Structure 1
Amino acid sequence: MTPRANWKGFLRLSLVTCPVALYPATSESEKISFNQLNRQTGHRIKYLKVDADTGDEVPNEDIVKGYKIDTDTFVEVTKEELENVALESTRTIEIDEFVDRSEIDRRYLIRPYYLRPDGKVGHDAFAVIRETIREMDKVAIGRLVLTNREHIIALEPLDKGLMGTLLRYPYEVRDPKEYFDEIQDVKVTKDMLDLARHIVDQKSGSFEPDKFEDQYETALVDLINQKRAGKPITPKSKPAATNVVDLMEALRRSVGKEAAPAKAGKSAKKGRKASAGQKEMLMPIEGKKPKEAAAKPAARSQRKSA
């Protein structure tokens, strides 16, 4: 089942227009999340919206947005006033320009979306826009209003659809000089580079997302299953911090360390392939009767966020 669209409107290239829908390209709903509980009762914690001065609970209909001027002064802005800030990008992604993909600084990338025709009409116009971008080997830059903010969006072909990546504005990207100026200028010798390159060569491979396992998620699953089964929890020992005194010696030892697994073949280097969506998640407790086990919700009920 296709998830609900985050945005619906029109994609326009000059006079060519088609209705489109925007969908999130990623999801974190499969990850385990926790509720906050009262330790004494085991009940969930409920948060109330209260007046900061009186302490009285405030109903949703009486809550408005406000921009802070100083400590005790706010400018109130109503929902209607925000809606009246009419921007064409509220309903239309207008393609303003085309740029080379290599020109987009990766720091400006926020998150990916899928863009497809909305409904049964406009597929021809959508295909023209998509194939024009593909043929020119460019990225189309446009704007759209999402979550009450106007965003820059970069569009590029992906299979039969388009992938749109939200981009940051320049004022949102921090100057690296603030962080890098104090890094010391160190001369790296050729011998050090040669050893480091050797380590890189031994670790080189192809990017295959399917072979990566979310080890922290797996550890959470094990923890929860152990607690459900009433088993004791044994804390794992933390790795001791090491102080590298002789960098060349550390590099030489690293080369030897990486060479040993390489002889055992590629299979020894690969981690366990994670199941799609971590479906192995929370299993019924061993020894439970079928009906009792079925009554215990599996992963999804355990993963509802607070």
Structure 2
Amino acid sequence: MAPRANWKGFLRLSLVTCPVALFPATSESDKISFNQINKKTGHRIRYLKVDADTGEEVANDDIIKGYQVEKDQYLEVTKDELENIALESTRTIEIDEFVPKSEIDDLYLVRPYYIVPDGKVGHDAYAVIRETIRSLDKVALARVVLINREHVIALEARDKGLMGMLLRYPYEVRDSAEYFDDIQDVKITKDMLDLAKHIVEQKSGHFEPDKFEDHYEQALQDLLEKKQKGQPISATRKPVPSNVVNLMDALKQSIKGSGKAAPAAKPAKAKKAAAKPRRKTG
């Protein structure tokens, strides 16, 4: 079954417009998921929407949105009121500006989407926008409304299409100083750094996603297969990492375990003997 579009509307660069659809570029649907069941009956657990005070179930038609201003006091907001303030980006992805991709901090990246032409018309306009973005070697910043909230989205050319990366707002990004200020400043010796670099060189390669293995997912699959066949489940003992007592020893042991020789330490330069002052002769 073809994936379902998360959003449909128009992509616009100035007066150039074309109908487009947004599809999630990633999916976790293939991951193993669990249902909650009643241990006594084996039946699935079903969640109900109930009134917090009366405990009675509430029908969907009787549920509206409310903003809490004080404890047990809410401002009620209707669907019509929300639609009255709907933004143009609800139906149109309006490109505002172009920026270098390198200037976008990774902390602002949320999730990727594929943006494709919607229907048989508009492919020419779509191609113009795509190739304009590609030729500038930049990303286009635009706005789009998803799940009733406006988001900033960065568009870039990808193969025959466009990829949009949803971005966070500044207020959603926490200040690193709150977490990093208490990290101690320590002096790393050159020998330690050389050993660490040697370990990195041994483990260096290229980014190949096909080599990634989800070990937990595989362990889950094995567990479920054994339970389905009625096979015994044996507990595995997990190794506990030990605290590093001597950092230099740990670095040397890491290289020793790889079977490759560590870089030879450069001999320290001998200090020149200080010249003795000559005695004056009468």
TM-score by length of 2: 0.91
Where does residue 132 of structure 2 map in the other structure?
132
Partner of 2:66: 66
Residue 211 of structure 2 corresponds to residue 211 of structure 1: yes
**Structure-1 separation of matches of 2:121 and 2:98:** 25
What is the one-letter code of the residue matched to 2:73?
T
Which moved further from structure 2: 140-149 or 69-78? 69-78
The aligned runs of 1:123-272 (5 Å cut-off) are 123-259=123-259
Checking the alignment, whether the CA contact within 8 Å between 1:92 and 1:144 is kept in structure 2 is: yes
Distance 2:83 2:199 in 1: 57
Structure 1 residue 235, shift from structure 2 partner: 1.1
Structure 2 counterparts to residues 90-101 of structure 1, below 5 A: 90-101=90-101
Amino acid corresponding to residue 232 of structure 1 in structure 2:
P
Q: Which residue of 2 aligns with 1:56?
A: 56
Equivalent residue of 2:38, what SS?
coil
Answer whether contact 1:202 1:259 (CA < 8 A) is retained.
no
AA in 2 matched with 1:45: I
Give the aligned partner of residue 278 of structure 1. none
- Once the two structures are TM-superposed, the CA of residue 65 in structure 1 deviates from its matched residue by 1.0
Alignment match, 1:11: 11
Distance apart, 1:77 and its partner CA = 1.0
Residue 23 of structure 1: aligned partner: 23
Instruction: Identify the range of structure 1 (238-247 vs 218-227) with the bigger mean alpha-carbon deviation.
Output: 238-247
Instruction: Name the CA distance, whole Å, in 2 between partners of 1:18 and 1:4.
Output: 19
TM superposition shift of 1:243: 1.2
8 A Cα contact 1:130 1:161, kept in partner = yes
Give 1:30 shift: 0.3
How many angstroms apart in 2 are the aligned matches of 1:259 and 1:18?
59
Q: CA deviation at 1:71?
A: 1.2
TM-score, L = length of structure 1: 0.84
**CA–CA separation in structure 2 for the residues paired with 1:257 and 1:83:** 64
Match of 2:40 in 1: 40
Q: How does 1:278-297 map to 2 (within 5 A)?
A: none
Query: Which stretch of the first structure deviates more once superposed, 122-131 or 72-81?
Result: 72-81
Deviation readout 1:233-262 (Å, 9 max, x if unpaired):
1111121230111100000111122346xx
Q: How many residues were matched structurally? A: 260
Structure 1 unmatched runs, 5+: 261-306
SS of aligned partner of 1:80: helix
Q: For 2:113, what is the secondary structure of its paired residue?
A: strand
Q: In 1, Cα distance between the equivalents of 2:254 and 2:155?
A: 42
* Whole-Å separation in 1 of the counterparts to 2:77 and 2:249: 63
1:90, 1:222 → 2: CA distance? 45
What value does the CA root-mean-square deviation take over the aligned residues?
0.9
Match of 1:86 in 2: 86
- Between the aligned residues of both structures, percent identity stands at 73
Distance 1:225 1:45 in 2: 24
CA–CA distance in 1 between the matches of 2:38 and 2:238?
Answer: 30
Task: Tell me if 1:106 matches 2:102.
Answer: no
Shift of 1:3: 1.1
CA separation of 1:259 and 1:81: change in aligned 2, threshold 3 A: farther
**Unaligned segments of structure 2, at least 5 residues:** 261-282
Shifted more, 163-172 versus 58-67: the winner is 58-67
The structure number with the bigger radius of gyration is 2
CA distance in 1, matches of 2:238, 2:78: 52
Distance in 2 (CA, whole Å) between partners of 1:187 and 1:70 is: 51
Q: Secondary structure at the match of 1:121?
A: coil
SS of match in other structure, 1:235: coil
Q: Which of the pair is proportionally richer in helix?
A: 1
**Deviations along 1:15-65, whole A, 9 cap, x unmatched?**
111111110000000001000011111111111111100111111111111
How much has 1:86 moved relative to structure 2? 2.1
Q: Which runs of 4+ in 1 moved over 3 A?
A: none
Show CA shifts across 1:155-197 (max 9, x none): 0001100000000000000000100010000111100110000
SS class of match (2:76):
strand
The Cα of 1:231 is off from its aligned counterpart by 1.0
CA distance in 2, matches of 1:185, 1:27: 41
Alignment partners' CA distance in 1, 2:109 and 2:259? 37
Deviation of 1:213 (Å): 1.1
